[in-house]
C-alpha cells in the first residue's frame, strides 16, 4: 500500500468531487468547508458547487440567459452584458449559504475550492469569518488575492 494523501489533498479531492454536480454550462467549480485541520476535528461540514438557486431551472437546462446567449453566438466567453445575466451562485457562495440555511457557524472554518475565489466570493468568505482558503486552480484576478491578504485570510495552493 502506498502513501496516503495529506488531509489537504483529501479535502481538495472532495471539492473536485463536488464540482461534478455543477450545473453551469461554462465552469465546474466545487467547494467544501471543513471544521479544522487539527487531529480530531477534520470534518467536512458542507459541500457546494456552482449552480442556480434551489428549485430553479439549471443553467445547463436552459436556465441561464448568459449561457444561452453564448451558445447562440450573441456573447463571447469572458464578455459581460447586462442583458444576459446569470442567476447561478458560485461554489464558494453556495457552500456558505448552505451552512447559513442549516444554522452552522462558518466563523474560523477552512474552505477548499477547486478554483481561486473571485472578488465577490472573497468578500463573502471574509464576511463569513473563514480563516483559510485552499485552492487548486489559479484565477487571473490579483484583486481578490490582495483582498484576502488584506484581511489576514491565508491562501494555499494544493496540487493533486
Query: What would the pLDDT profile of 70-99 be if each residue is shown by its tens digit?
Result: 888 888 777 777 777 788 899 999 999 999
Q: Which of 10-19, 50-59, 108-117 has the lowest mean pLDDT?
A: 50-59
Whether 142 is catalytic is no
The verdict on whether residue 59 carries a ligand-binding annotation is no
pLDDT tens column, 137-146: 998 778 999 9
Burial class of residue 123 (count of CB atoms within 10 Å of its CB; 0-12, 13-18, 19+):
middle
Interatomic CA distance for residues 123 and 137, integer angstroms? 19
The pLDDT of residue 68: 78
For the segment 33-51, the average pLDDT, to the nearest whole number, is: 94
The pLDDT of residue 1: 60
Is the model more confident about 27 or about 154?
154
Report the relative pairing of strands 44-49 and 110-115 from DSSP bridges.
unpaired
Interatomic CA distance for residues 157 and 74, integer angstroms? 35
The model's confidence at residue 58, banded by pLDDT at 50, 70 and 90, is confident
| pTM, entire model | 0.90
For the segment 30-41, the average pLDDT, to the nearest whole number, is: 94
Grid coordinates representing 8?
A: 489537504
Whether residue 9 is predicted with pLDDT greater than 90 in this model: the reply is yes
Whether residue 132 is predicted with pLDDT greater than 70 in this model: the reply is yes
The residue from 3, 38, 68, 92 that is catalytic is 92
Q: What domains, with CATH codes, occur in the chain? A: 7-51+88-157 (3.40.140.10)
Interatomic CA distance for residues 97 and 86, integer angstroms? 18
Return left, alpha or beta for 55; rule: phi > 0 is left, psi -120 to 50 is alpha, else beta. Answer: left
The pLDDT of residue 67: 77
Whether residue 160 is predicted with pLDDT greater than 90 in this model: the reply is no
The pLDDT of residue 87: 81
The verdict on whether residue 121 carries a ligand-binding annotation is yes
The verdict on whether residue 58 carries a ligand-binding annotation is no
Amino acid at each position: 500500500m502506498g502513501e496516503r494523501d495529506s488531509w489537504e489533498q483529501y479535502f481538495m479531492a472532495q471539492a473536485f468531487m463536488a464540482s461534478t454536480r455543477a450545473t453551469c454550462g461554462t465552469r465546474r467549480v466545487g467547494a467544501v468547508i471543513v471544521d479544522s485541520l487539527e487531529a480530531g476535528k477534520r470534518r467536512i461540514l458542507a459541500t457546494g458547487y456552482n449552480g442556480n438557486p434551489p428549485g430553479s431551472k439549471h443553467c445547463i437546462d436552459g436556465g441561464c440567459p448568459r449561457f444561452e446567449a453564448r451558445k447562440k453566438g450573441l456573447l463571447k466567453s469572458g464578455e459581460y452584458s447586462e442583458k444576459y445575466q446569470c442567476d447561478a451562485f458560485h461554489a464558494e457562495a453556495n457552500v456558505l449559504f448552505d451552512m447559513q440555511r442549516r444554522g452552522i457557524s462558518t466563523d474560523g472554518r477552512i474552505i477548499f475550492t477547486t478554483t481561486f475565489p473571485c472578488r465577490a466570493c472573497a468578500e463573502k468568505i471574509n464576511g463569513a469569518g473563514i480563516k483559510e482558503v485552499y485552492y487548486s486552480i489559479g484565477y487571473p484576478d490579483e484583486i481578490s488575492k490582495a483582498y484576502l491578504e488584506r484581511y489576514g485570510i491565508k491562501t494555499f495552493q494544493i496540487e493533486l
